[in-house]
Amino acid sequence: MLHIRSFHNPRVKRAIPEGQFIRAKRITSCVEKYEEAKMVLTKRFKERGGFDFLPQYFLLQVRTYFGERQELHNFGTCFWERSDMTGLLDIVILQETHMTHDKILSLRRSWLSSTYHACYSNYARGVSIMQYSGENSQKYWPLLQADRQYGHLFNDPPRFCYKRGRTLKEMLCPSDTCQKKSLFHGKKKKGTYPCLGCNCCSAIIKGSKINHPKKGYEINLHVYATCMSTHVVYLLKCPCGLGYVGQTSRAVKIRIQEHKSNIRNFKENTQTDTSVSKHFFIHKHNSMQLRWCVLEEAAPDGRGDGRINRLLQIEGRWIKRLGTLYPDGLNDSWSLKPYL
């Protein structure tokens, strides 16, 4: 542990004791051991020139880090750090505040960041936009809270902030100069086409349009795909007219073959017991009646971003667009996790 009079960066001298308290909390198996380690660390810190109130500050950081709900000590929350000619770290209490744990947790709320644009130069306009965003977040926040898996993470509403917008250089001089290649010399084909080399080709829903499974109106497709396409979102249709939206990062024909295998070998409470195979079993359909097509592809990005995450986002959009959630379809659930 560094001495308070050392010439190291003040932030380093503050971070080391804080890290030691967090480490002691993490590696101790019972409260008694932690209290003993806490006393030892406090004594060592004071021996190295620390002030009396600073251990309480570090203990507060530990409790906030681990999210414990307990009474916290009152201490000065605003500090000013500087190093004078002798290298002494002076920490001056500017304001004394009685902070409760709920107040501390409120400071740890989620941040929603958006890109700053030139239109925000008008202060009044920026405030109105921020207010509009806050009102919409309050309006639609219950949708996030209703998620079964991650709803507990959204108990408190978010705070808003801006990140730097694009400069003229970034807009006019892109660093990615690779020319995009096309498979077609003329007009691009759209739809799903057979590869003529697998047993899934005969089940393809051909054409550049599909009909909504429930409402029947036409939906245009903007993708060219075959049985060998990867990183795609696909649609399955049963003879009843119900739809199932899925995604795969492998060749789509492999995933379709798995669906057909589950339908043929369906057995309850096994790996073959899926929402699609169970529906086919109950309604006495067979795997030859399964129809499918590709809805959209998660195109590769030259910068190597999260292609799988974008694929899951596309899947969620199509599930909502086609209304394939049970009981209107064969999808049993969907999640907001890819958007977080």
**Nearest CA-CA partner of 21 in 44, 4, 38:** 38
Is 147 found in the same domain as 123? yes
**Do both 322 and 301 map to the same domain?**
yes
Q: Report the number of distinct structural domains present in the chain.
A: 3
Asked if the structure places residue 79 within a domain, the reply is: yes
- Domain end among 106, 126, 151: 106
Please check whether residues 245 and 334 belong to one and the same domain. Answer: yes
Asked, for residue 116, whether it belongs to a domain, the answer is yes
Which range marks the domain in which residue 289 is found? 191-339
pLDDT, residue 20, reads 82
pLDDT at site 324: 93
**Whether residues 330 and 199 fall in one domain:** yes
Q: Tokens for 303, please give them.
A: 């910068």
Separation of CA 231 from chain center? 19
Contact between 116 and 163 (Cβ < 8 Å): yes
The CA distance from 256 to 336, in Å, is 25
Does 4 reside within a domain?
Answer: no
Same-domain status, 238 and 159: no
Among 106, 127, 147, the domain-final residue is 106
CB 280 within 8 A of CB 286: yes
Residues 6+ away with beta carbon under 8 Å from 173 = none
Domain boundary among 77, 106, 135: 106
Q: Average pLDDT per run of 10 along the chain, which is 340 residues long?
A: 76 79 82 84 76 56 53 36 32 38 56 68 44 63 82 77 80 72 76 91 92 92 93 94 94 95 93 94 93 92 78 94 92 86
pLDDT at position 11 = 77
Domain match, 146 and 160 both: yes
Cα torsion 120, 126, 128, 132: sign? positive
Q: What is the pLDDT of residue 133?
A: 57
Residues 102 and 117 in one domain: no
Question: Are residue 34 and residue 70 in the same domain, yes or no?
Answer: yes
Query: Does one domain contain both 261 and 207?
Result: yes
Same domain, 197 and 301: yes
Are both 211 and 325 inside the same structural domain? yes
Which residues touch 273 (CB under 8 Å, ≥6 apart)?
266, 267
Residues 115, 99 share a domain:
no
Q: Rounded distance, CA 247 to CA 89, Å?
A: 57
